[in-house]
Amino acid sequence: MNRLLIPFSLVAVAILLVALQCTVTWRWSPWGVRLELLPPLLVYMAFTVNLPTAFFLGAFSALLYDSLSAGAMGASVIPYLVNVTLFSALRPIFFRSRLSTRFFNGVIAGFFTLLLQWLFSGKAVAVPFGAVLPKILRLATLCGLLSVAYFLVLDAAFRASGLNPGRFEEDAP
């Protein structure tokens, strides 16, 4: 199978998730927060493809999200790229197939992405940190759950198409 199928599929998934997050008005809002769909996908990208591809996919997702959302343009670029780069650099020390790795990395990525987005959006002056922290923690927990779901669904889809998603270090004999 073609090695470009996974990156192009991740572009399609990012477009779908951005479209859902920015246009669907009847979102399910557990704990009174609006679900963030892209930070868990960043973790999946970082653990599935190499760093240059993950960096490109993170930049594409951030620019697409910023252009379609009501937030400040460019507020998501740095948080997304920092998280993709960090998790791509740290992925050799994690076991990709563990459920706990997927969940906790999703929580950590969600927390730092949302915290940095809040700081870079210019709302840090108007909205106190004490009011934002509980929402960020709830969203980060939901990002951990979504991260597990993304790994399960996307890995199953790629394996069904004959591909072996995961770290390229594991493919060597």
* CA–CA separation, 50 and 158 (whole Å): 16
Q: What is the DSSP string of 85-146?
A: HHHHHHGGGS-TT-HHHHHHHHHHHHHHHHHHHHHHTTTTTTS-HHHHHHHHHHHHHHHHHH
Domains of the chain: 5-24+31-161 (1.10.1760)
pLDDT of residue 25: 61
Structure tokens at 36: 């963030």
What's this model's pTM, rounded to 2 decimal places? 0.83
Task: Give helix then strand counts, H and E, for the chain.
Answer: 6, 0
pLDDT of residue 118: 83
Cα–Cα separations (whole angstroms), residue 113 to 29, 57, 153, 158, 165: 19, 15, 23, 26, 24
Amino acid at 31: W
The one-digit pLDDT tens for each residue of the chain (173 residues) are 466 778 888 888 888 888 887 776 655 566 666 778 888 999 998 888 888 988 998 899 888 888 887 767 777 888 889 999 998 888 888 888 888 889 999 999 999 988 888 887 777 677 788 888 888 898 899 899 999 999 999 888 888 887 777 755 444 44
pLDDT at 107: 94
pLDDT score for 173: 41
**pLDDT, position 171:** 46
Residue 99's pLDDT is 87
pLDDT of residue 144: 92
Interhelix angle 99-120/129-160, rounded to 10 degrees, is: 130
- pLDDT on residue 10: 86
